[in-house]
Amino acid sequence: MSAAPRADDARDVDVVCLGESMVTFVPSRPGRLADVPAFSRGIGGAESNVACSLARVGHTARWISRVGADGFGDHLVAEIAAAGVDVSYVRRDPDRPTGVYFRTAGERAVDDGGGGGDGDEGGDGELSEVVYYRAGSAAAAMSPDLVPREQAWSGRVLHLTGITAALSDGCRALLRELTTRAPGRPLVSFDVNYRTALWRGGGAGRLLDLARGCDLVFVGEDEAGAAWGLRGAAAIRAALPEPEVLVVKQGSAGATAYARRPGGGDEVTCEPAPRVEVVAAVGAGDAFAAGFLSGSLRGLTVAERLRHGHLMAAAALTVPGDLGAPPAREHADGLVALDAGAWGTLRLAPGWTDAGPVSAEVATP
């Protein structure tokens, strides 16, 4: 199967996720940030979200980053470790703070699909209001000198995102090194994660160059249009022929995967997303990547990987925070095995991940 994780006894975890995580503050009630009197504390970060989701479904995951020598750094490390993620390579910076951000709750009364973008900067319905305080953060100091390659390569898969490339020159240099093909490199997974606010000075073309060096790439159809002016999944694949597998997320329509055949050409697989009653449109893209990676680690078909991605995204969309409790593996496998007709009737509402043994009737209230 294309983009299969490397099997190597020297690699001691399934997936290494490298990137910044921040403490997030979510309003205690809906409304503008200017009007909300109190906030609850959580955590958020694309790469740590993926690591936590993978650990919660039974894979071994490691998070590599830098945090401040402050209380927020203590909180991040403790929460991510509590999800079952190895944090032994996280470094504390005595001179730089841990990043934080504030966002609105982003409740929406409409249904949306489970396999779309990340939700905090686009999608159907009401947008979240997000304010970042991450300039000069501890994670922005990451560089090839501070993150040894042997640590980043210690898993069967290395998962990166374009967010890291936007943080600093040192972070960009680190991602350039880690996405350069070299002997002994693990499978490199890359979620483009284009953030307009982080690339206001231009340079989104750098994300395209980084993606070309990776084995598995995730990109939203909308973000490819915003970053590179590309329209449609086929045009995106034409601009990114190098990855063995390219997954184009298409919002409520689902996702399309291009997997290179051994003899040349692509196997093209499309899977629609189930309908989801959205609570907060954040974290879905990270969860989708985790679901697809989980299926890849298990050697599932591309169609099954896409469906697992959709289900993990739905778990994130049906809770207020960035991380939803994923369904048990038996539950998810039962849904993934549904025929096309039953899969097309799925309606997933808050609490759906708590269901027992799966049938189409249970999953479609």
Active site residues: 286
Q: How far is 42 from 64, CA to CA, in rounded Å?
A: 19
3-class DSSP state for residue 58? coil
> Are 115 and 309 spatial neighbours (Cβ–Cβ below 8 Å)?
yes
Q: Which residue in the block uniquely carries the two structure tokens 């994780």?
A: 5
Determine phi and psi for 34, rounding to 5 degrees. Answer: -65, -20
Handedness of CA 336, 341, 344, 350 (dihedral sign): negative
Pairing of strands 100-103, 130-133: antiparallel
CA distances from 131 to 28, 71, 198, 327 (A): 16, 20, 12, 31
Distance of CA 107 to the CA centre of its chain: 21
Q: How far is 340 from 278, CA to CA, in rounded Å?
A: 23
Pairing of strands 66-68, 61-64: unpaired
* Token duo for residue 280: 């907060």
Residues 6+ away with beta carbon under 8 Å from 354: none
CA atoms within 13 A on the CB side of 154: 20
* Token duo for residue 116: 């779309």
Show the beta-strand stretches assigned E in 273-345: 275-277
- Count other C-beta atoms under 10 Å from residue 198's C-beta: 17
